[in-house]
Amino acid sequence: MATNNDKAKGVLVDLTRCIGCRGCQVACKSWNERKTGKTTLEGEFTNPKQLNSDTFTRIAFVEQDKGDQPVWSFVKDQCMHCQDPACLSACPVGAFTRTPEGAVNYTFEKCIGCRYCMVACPFNIPKYEWESTSPWIRKCTFCSDRIADGKVPACIKVCPTNVMFFGNRDDVLKEAEKRIKESPGKYVDHVFGKEEAGGTSWVYLSAIPFEQLGFNTSIPAVKLPNLTWNMLGGIPAKVGALVVGLSLIAAFRNRGSSRSDESTEGKEK
């Protein structure tokens, strides 16, 4: 379970600064080597419409009317990297871990495909590779490899309008409160993510009520793992046999992948 520490990082996303350029989407795809696909626009500019196994972050275009003209607000969406992740708690095989810097990461080799993490996440973040014959869970990694190397996440690095403020989580929260105090009337008097789900590494400021931007404002200000296990505790014990069966399938799948890799290496030699 996660605990607070001096290394824990955070990001303040100031939505009043976002211009919807989608540079963060491009940088994220490039750094994580995720493939692109053909998409279509259907009456709105959000593209893709939802996060998926190849899109770890995206900009949502929220259209509103101002007088006779439509205006847009832009919302960056990605894993919130909870302080006490429900996905980590719900996983029966320890496929999720949380780094000292706060990144909630996923280990492919441990996954048994139960998808409890998808059910447990209050932000609807983990996505399954439904299109793959060897599917895994995919999501934002908080660029933990870059952070470990002293760099900022790729999406933050490329942002042209400094939408995101990166630093120690305590400093991030102080910066958020400072902006609200110094610009009364500019922001909604709430830092989304400060307390939701027990607190998240990514927090938001907005000039528009969060519920109007599609945020789930019904998430309680409590740590969710205990609630998660109370729910899962009601599942019949027979699920234990299912977990064992899925573990065997996962082990067989991983063994097959290893043999394939060894065969490929042998041919290359």
Q: Is 44 left (phi over 0), alpha (psi -120 to 50) or beta?
A: beta
Q: Are 57 and 77 in contact (CB under 8 A)?
A: yes
Per-residue pLDDT reduced to its tens digit, 12-67? 999 999 999 999 999 999 999 999 888 888 878 999 999 999 999 999 999 988 88
| Tally of CA atoms within 13 A in the half-sphere of 268 that contains its CB | 6
Q: Which two tokens stand for residue 212?
A: 């109007």
Cα separation, 191 vs 243, in Å, equals 39
| pLDDT one digit per residue (tens) for the chain, 269 residues | 444 567 899 999 999 999 999 999 999 999 999 998 888 888 789 999 999 999 999 999 999 888 888 889 999 999 999 999 999 999 999 999 999 999 999 999 999 999 999 999 999 999 999 988 889 999 999 999 999 999 999 999 999 999 999 999 999 999 999 999 999 899 999 999 999 999 999 999 999 999 999 999 999 998 877 655 555 555 554 455 555 555 555 555 555 554 544 444 444 44
CB within 8 Å of 20: residues ≥ 6 apart: 45, 59, 61, 72, 74
The reply to whether the predicted model has a pTM over 0.75 is: yes
The three-state (H, E, C) secondary structure of the chain, written as one string:
CCCCCCCCEEEEEEHHHCCCCCHHHHHHHHHHCCCCCCCCCCCCCCCCCCCECCECCEEEEEEEEECCEEEEEEEEECCCCECCCHHHHHCCCCCEEECCCCCEEECHHHCCCCCHHHHHCCCCCCEECCCCCCCCEECCCCCHHHHHCCCCCHHHHHCCCCCEEEEEHHHHHHHHHHHHHHCCCCCCCCCECCCHHHCECEEEECCCCHHHHCCCCCCCCCCCHHHHHHHHCCCCCCHHHHHHHHHHHHHHHHHHHHHHHHHHHHHHC
Cα separation, 168 vs 6, in Å, equals 7
Q: Cα dihedral angle (82, 87, 89, 93), rounded to 10 degrees?
A: -140
